């Protein structure tokens, strides 16, 4: 009877440890089980819907997609680009560098997730690309979120046509 009880306890402990490791992997954290560190080897942290780093569009193709968009049009894209800026207040938006002094302004679908306010490196994003004119007031608000100086904010005086993306999911370098 004692042996069956010990086997049952060991089985329950093993099952609980496995669940802890699986949960840690999905959250991008480190789990410590039986005194051994088990780290997630994935180089990316995931935000929003789960996406993969596969089937990425080349940035040049993404830029071409944006050139063909008119106000009100959208196109599905998935690409990897360096992070230029992130909202310092909440992480509710970011700007990605497309090269040649072009950026894409990224917001997150349904305001359902944010990214770290100190994010840097590269990000993989998947979502709907579109173009939109951003008002002076909105540009100034975003500049304030970005931590720009009062003089730089005051220098914003005209609406601007911007490349934008409503991201469904984001992968960021850890």
Mean pLDDT of all residues in 58-63: 95
With H, G, I as helix, E, B as strand and everything else as coil, classify residue 102.
strand
Mean pLDDT of all residues in 102-123: 95
Predicted confidence at residue 173, as pLDDT, reads: 86
Q: Where does the pLDDT of residue 114 fall: very low under 50, low under 70, confident under 90, or very high at 90 and above?
A: very high
Q: Where does the pLDDT of residue 2 fall: very low under 50, low under 70, confident under 90, or very high at 90 and above?
A: low
pTM above 0.85, yes or no: no
């Amino acid at each position: 009877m004692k042996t069956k009880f010990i086997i049952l306890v060991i089985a329950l402990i093993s099952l609980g440890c496995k669940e802890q490791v699986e949960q840690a992997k999905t959250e991008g954290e480190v789990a410590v089980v039986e005194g051994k560190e088990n780290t997630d080897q994935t180089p990316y942290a995931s935000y929003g819907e789960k996406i993969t780093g596969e089937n990425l569009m080349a940035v040049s193709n993404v830029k071409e997609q944006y050139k063909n968009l008119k106000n009100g049009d959208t196109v599905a894209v998935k690409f990897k680009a360096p992070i230029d800026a992130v909202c310092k207040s909440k992480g509710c938006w970011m700007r990605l560098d497309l090269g040649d002094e072009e950026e894409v302004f990224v917001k997150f679908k349904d305001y359902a997730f944010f990214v770290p306010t100190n994010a840097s490196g590269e990000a993989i994003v998947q979502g709907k690309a579109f173009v939109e004119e951003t008002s002076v007031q909105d540009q100034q608000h975003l500049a304030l979120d970005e931590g720009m100086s009062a003089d730089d904010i005051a220098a914003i005086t005209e609406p601007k046509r911007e490349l934008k993306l409503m991201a469904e999911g984001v992968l960021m370098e850890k």
